[in-house]
């Protein structure tokens, strides 16, 4: 029996995943979490076999929660989920230690396949996304200015692009406002932009946020 922790800020998504997974005799959903903060707490309490983690959530967010869970337990097996199926989100999640990455747009059976692979300690990326990742490397898309951002800078960049203030980002990521300000300065320098509107435009252009 594979014990699963479901992490998503939408209750209806968690319910759908739970029903799907519990229709399979080899999976047992031991807990749900609606935020990165709660995911870290529940992982520490329950030590599930696999975490199914949405990487775009309010508050700490999935990428940061993934990083903290992996720092606590380097053997943690995490399947990252995203509403986006772009190579950049996948690369970031895999770089942070996720064993698998799956778009929420995938067919239900893909979740079972992905979770089975990750539970066995194997990497999983669906075929379409794997092709996009490979083509991005060949075409040089992986060398876009956004790829020059560090993991923390990327997290700050996405939150700024979605309209969050420096103070809100500082509160969510448990950083000082001055530290976030430094990240913001570095992001602007690396991307060659002057304001938040231009950051949002770049994120939209790369398909990193919804219009």
Mean pLDDT of 175-195: 92
pLDDT of residue 155: 86
Task: Using alpha carbons, select from 33, 27, 34 the residue that is nearest to residue 3.
Answer: 27
Cβ burial 83-101 (10 Å sphere, 16+ → b, else e): ebbbbbbbbbbbebbbbbb
Res. 141: pLDDT tops 60: no
Residues of the chain with CATH 1.10.10.10: 144-205
Which of 17-31, 78-92, 171-185 shows the lowest mean pLDDT across its residues?
Answer: 78-92
Instruction: Kindly report the length of the chain.
Output: 211
Q: What is the pLDDT of residue 180?
A: 92
Non-local (6+) Cβ contacts of 128 within 8 A are 85
Tens digits of residue pLDDT in 162-180: 899 999 999 988 889 999 9
Give the 3-state secondary structure of 98-111: CCEEEECCCCHHHH
Quote the CA–CA distance of 179 and 199 in Å, as a whole number: 18
At the top level of CATH, which class does the domain 144-205 belong to? mainly alpha
According to CATH, where is 3.40.50.2300 located in the chain?
2-138
pLDDT for position 139: 60
- The CATH number of 2-138, from 3.40.50.620, 2.40.30.10, 3.90.1150.10, 3.40.50.2300, is 3.40.50.2300
């Amino acid at each position: 029996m594979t014990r699963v922790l479901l992490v998503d800020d939408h209750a209806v998504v968690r319910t759908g995943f739970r029903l799907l997974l519990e229709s399979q005799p080899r999976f047992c959903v031991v807990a749900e979490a609606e935020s990165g903060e709660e995911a870290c707490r529940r992982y520490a309490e329950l030590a599930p076999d696999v975490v199914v983690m949405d990487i775009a959530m309010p508050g700490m967010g999935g990428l940061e929660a993934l990083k903290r869970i992996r720092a606590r337990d380097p053997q943690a097996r995490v399947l990252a989920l995203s509403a986006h199926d772009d190579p950049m989100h996948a690369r970031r999640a895999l770089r942070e230690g996720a064993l698998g990455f799956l778009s929420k747009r995938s067919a239900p059976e893909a979740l079972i396949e992905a979770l089975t692979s990750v539970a066995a300690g194997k990497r999983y990326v669906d075929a379409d996304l794997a092709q996009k990742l490979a083509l991005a490397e060949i075409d040089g898309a992986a060398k876009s200015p956004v790829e020059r951002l560090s993991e923390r800078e990327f997290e700050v960049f996405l939150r700024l692009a979605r309209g969050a203030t420096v103070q809100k980002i500082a509160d969510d990521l448990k950083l000082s406002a001055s530290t976030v300000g430094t990240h913001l300065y570095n992001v602007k320098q690396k991307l060659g932009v002057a304001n938040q509107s231009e950051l949002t435009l770049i994120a939209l252009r790369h398909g990193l946020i919804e219009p």
